[in-house]
């Protein structure tokens, strides 16, 4: 199996790195932590003009017709730069939800605007029980005058405060198999009864609590069929987990480069600390973890792109990447010492994000359970 990049993918990777090194220095990342929006609309439009937002969308919807693997390559560079933007929320969570289950009318209404940077999307699934499984969905959508009203609370909705539309995962049937009673709706974020509150997170990214109180939504804005939404949502979450692995791999790669540079230049006892065996072994461990994570991520992404079964590969990649990124930031701070804990150093940005990404879309233990279930099925 050959995972080497095509010439087009190499060009994508190189151009993305050059663009982000220029447009997204870590000073900008810090600025966006304090910014209410949490992203630069001007930079967002530049990304749209580069074709990033529609990279994996079909050409008939204004996209580039690229593969899921192409998006993974781009996300590695986004993770390397820690780009603060609604890319993951809009393109991965929101865009995949519509691409997975949307009608032709819904796709034509939203996807060209997504590709052009005209609309921001997100996905509201997590609830106070903090589990992203079918039996955890309690927010209700009830029939009202032929349409629906939604009541419930969603937590950790990425960029919910700036989203134009929110895909809300709801329960529409309580009896019977719980996975067969879930329906998804594209909800206008300005609809009556929606209250959005930003919450503080360890990753310092923009996450929100979204309260739905008698929020009206049209039956025409249902994604897929009534009570059949979970299968689509589960597929989106699996693909999103691979996308997050790519983001983590980019961050791990940057952490290793910073650590290696420090080890080569930091002199102790008259020689660079990179000459000490203990440091060398830690650097080797970081590289082993990174290279394995890249292979597992690209394997899962390739299978998604090829239309092959990918559930187990997703969980293997996410379990490994979650621990690999966190381990890399821990080893890096040990090697760099106290300077790596200072707020004006770049390392705190990466180890905060590593911890946040570790638990997002399921931590390593969650995915080990998924792997076991696949093995025993």
Residue by residue, DSSP assigns 156-195 as EEETTTT-SEEEEEEE---SS-GGGSEEEEEEETTSTTEE
Number of Cβ within 10 Å of residue 186's Cβ equals 22
Average pLDDT, the chain: 95
Average pLDDT over residues 275-298: 97
Contact 58, 108 (CB under 8 A): no
pLDDT in tens, 26-63: 999 999 999 999 999 999 999 999 999 999 999 999 99
Question: How confident is residue 343, by pLDDT bands cut at 50, 70 and 90?
Answer: confident
d(CA 370, CA 377): 10
Domains of the chain: 7-119 (1.10.540.10), 123-228 (2.40.110.10), 231-376 (1.20.140.10)
Beta bridge partners of 268: 271
- The pLDDT value recorded for residue 321 is 98
pLDDT at residue 131 greater than cutoff 90: no
Diameter of the chain measured on Cα atoms: 80
Q: Which two tokens stand for residue 287?
A: 């590289």
pLDDT at residue 177 greater than cutoff 80: yes
pLDDT at residue 118 greater than cutoff 80: yes
List Cα–Cα distances, 217 to 214, 221, 359, in angstroms.
9, 7, 31
pLDDT in tens, 348-375: 999 999 999 999 999 999 999 999 999 9
At residue 292's C-alpha, the angle toward residues 335 and 253, to 5°, is 45
Question: How confident is residue 166, by pLDDT bands cut at 50, 70 and 90?
Answer: very high
- The pLDDT value recorded for residue 297 is 98
- The pLDDT value recorded for residue 9 is 95
Number of Cβ within 10 Å of residue 43's Cβ equals 18
Q: Which two tokens stand for residue 211?
A: 């309260």
d(CA 167, CA 186): 4
Residues 6+ apart with CB under 8 A from 119: 90, 110, 113, 164, 165
Average pLDDT over residues 133-156: 94
d(CA 297, CA 291): 10
- Torsions phi, psi of 156, nearest 5? 50, 50
- The pLDDT value recorded for residue 175 is 84
pLDDT at residue 163 greater than cutoff 90: yes
Number of Cβ within 10 Å of residue 36's Cβ equals 9
pTM score? 0.96
pLDDT at residue 1 greater than cutoff 70: no
Classified as helix, coil or strand, 211 is strand
Measure CA of the first residue to CA of the last residue in the chain; give whole Å: 27
pLDDT at residue 105 greater than cutoff 80: yes
């Amino acid at each position: 199996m050959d995972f080497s990049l095509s010439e087009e993918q190499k060009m994508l990777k190189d151009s993305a790195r050059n663009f982000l090194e220029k447009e997204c220095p870590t000073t900008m990342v810090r600025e966006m932590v304090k910014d209410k929006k949490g992203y630069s609309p001007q930079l967002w439009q530049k990304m749209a003009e580069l074709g990033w937002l529609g990279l994996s969308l079909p050409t008939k919807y204004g996209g580039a017709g690229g593969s899921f693997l192409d998006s993974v390559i781009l996300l590695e560079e986004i993770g390397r730069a820690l780009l603060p933007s609604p890319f993951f929320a809009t393109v991965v969570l929101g865009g995949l939800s519509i691409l997975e289950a949307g009608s032709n009318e819904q796709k034509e209404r939203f996807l060209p605007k997504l590709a052009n940077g005209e609309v921001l999307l997100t996905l509201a699934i997590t609830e106070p029980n903090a589990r992203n499984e079918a039996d955890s969905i309690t927010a209700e959508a009830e029939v009202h005058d032929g349409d629906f009203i939604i009541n419930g609370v969603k937590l950790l909705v990425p960029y919910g405060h700036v989203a134009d539309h929110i895909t809300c995962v709801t329960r529409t049937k309580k009896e019977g198999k719980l996975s067969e009673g879930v329906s998804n709706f594209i909800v206008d974020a300005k609809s009556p009864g929606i209250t959005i509150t930003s919450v503080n997170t360890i990753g310092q990214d923009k996450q929100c609590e979204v309260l739905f109180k008698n929020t009206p939504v049209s039956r025409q804005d249902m994604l897929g069929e009534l009570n059949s939404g979970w299968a689509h949502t589960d597929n989106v979450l699996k693909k999103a987990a691979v996308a997050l692995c790519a983001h983590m791999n980019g961050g791990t790669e940057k952490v290793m480069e910073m650590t290696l540079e420090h080890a080569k230049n930091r002199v102790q006892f008259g020689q660079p600390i990179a000459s000490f065996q203990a440091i060398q072994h830690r650097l080797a461990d970081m590289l082993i973890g990174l290279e394995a994570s890249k292979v597992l991520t690209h394997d899962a992404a390739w299978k998604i792109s090829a239309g092959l079964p990918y559930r187990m590969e997703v969980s293997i990649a996410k379990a490994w990447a979650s621990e690999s990124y966190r381990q890399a930031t821990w080893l890096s701070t040990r090697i760099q010492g106290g300077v790596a804990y200072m707020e004006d150093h770049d390392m705190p940005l990466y180890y905060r994000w590593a911890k946040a990404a570790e638990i997002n879309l399921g931590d390593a233990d969650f995915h080990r359970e998924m792997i076991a279930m696949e093995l025993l099925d």
